[in-house]
Amino acid sequence: MGDDADREALLGLVSSLGERIRVDRRMGRPLSYLARSAAVVPSEIPAFATGEAGGGPLTSLEAVREALGECERCALARTRKRLVFGEGRADTGLVFVGEAPGAEEDLQGRPFVGRAGQLLTKIITAMGLQRERVYICNILKCRPPGNRNPRPEEIAACEPFLIRQLQTLRPRVICALGSFAAQTLLKTETPISVLRGRFHLYQGIPLMPTYHPAYLLRNPGAKKQVWEDVQLIMKRLQETG
């Protein structure tokens, strides 16, 4: 009887761990809680957890870029034209994080330079800021073919470098552009329509989700909500500046 109960308890544990891994993979969460387990495969361990990025503290964006190198940590390395690391200075305290490079960004190696990027630049200008003085990047640094959604293993491989960029930049506010960026960073499936309009925390930093400029191009009516969101960002930046 005792053996049966133990076996049942063990099966229950295995089943709930399996369910957690499935959910975390779907959400693109790092499986760092498996890192001490023999069951984990090296490709699932975030790069920084393995010391792959050089081990020591990365105190500048240049050091993070150098540690990233000509990255081949996920399959997107095979299809990208150019890696899009991110650009800007963030001395305004603001970082925008989108989903992944699109076709134009892939060609130029710069974030948000297509039509949606031009709209983002207009939004930044309307905030009274200069594009060069905010930092702009994406969760993924390489374009998914055909702009398909990023895959969990791609996010797990790439997000540690975004975290290092943010640790280096120390922004006072992050603006997550679009549903995918917001849901990935906040590890939630809550729709962007519910997430936007208030601050959340990412790695201890206030994060405001708002609609992606590409969505605004298709749905100009949503500009009003984006303007409300960026006003909250401006207020926070003024309060903490």
Residues in touch with ligand SF4 (CB under 6 A):
71-74, 76-77, 83, 140-142, 154, 157-158
- Closest contact distance (angstroms) between CB of 113 and ligand SF4 is 18
We find the least distance from the C-beta atom of residue 204 to ligand SF4, in angstroms, to be 23
User: C-alpha angle with apex 152: 47 to 74, nearest 5 degrees?
Assistant: 50
Report in angstroms how near the CB of residue 84 gets to ligand SF4 at its nearest.
9
Using alpha carbons, select from 179, 189, 154 the residue that is nearest to residue 27: 189
HEC secondary structure over 107-158: HHCCCCCCHHHHHHHHHHHHCCCCHHHCEEEECCCCCCHHHCCCCHHHHHHH
Residue among 101 and 206 whose Cβ is closer to ligand SF4: 101
Nearer residue to ligand SF4 within complex by CB, 109 or 197: 109
Q: How far is the CB of 3 from ligand SF4 (least distance, A)?
A: 45
CB 223 within 8 A of CB 202: no
Pick the closer one to ligand SF4 by CB: 54 or 197.
Answer: 54
Shorter beta-carbon distance to ligand SF4: residue 83 or 216? 83
**Contact in structure between 82 and 109 (CB atoms under 8 Å):** yes
Instruction: Name which of 129 and 157 has its Cβ closer to ligand SF4.
Output: 157
Instruction: Say how far apart CA 36 and CA 38 lie, in whole Å.
Output: 7
Q: Least Å distance between CB 39 and ligand SF4?
A: 22
In sequence order, which residues have a C-beta less than 8 Å from that of residue 85 and are 6 or more positions away? 65, 68, 137, 141
Among 98, 75, 95, 64, which residue's Cα sits nearest to residue 152? Answer: 75
CB of 16 to ligand SF4, least distance (A): 29
Comparing CB distances to ligand SF4, the nearer of 31 and 71 is: 71
Residue 81, token pair as written in the block: 């034209």
Residue 43: C-alpha distances to residues 38, 49, 129, 173 (Å): 13, 11, 40, 31
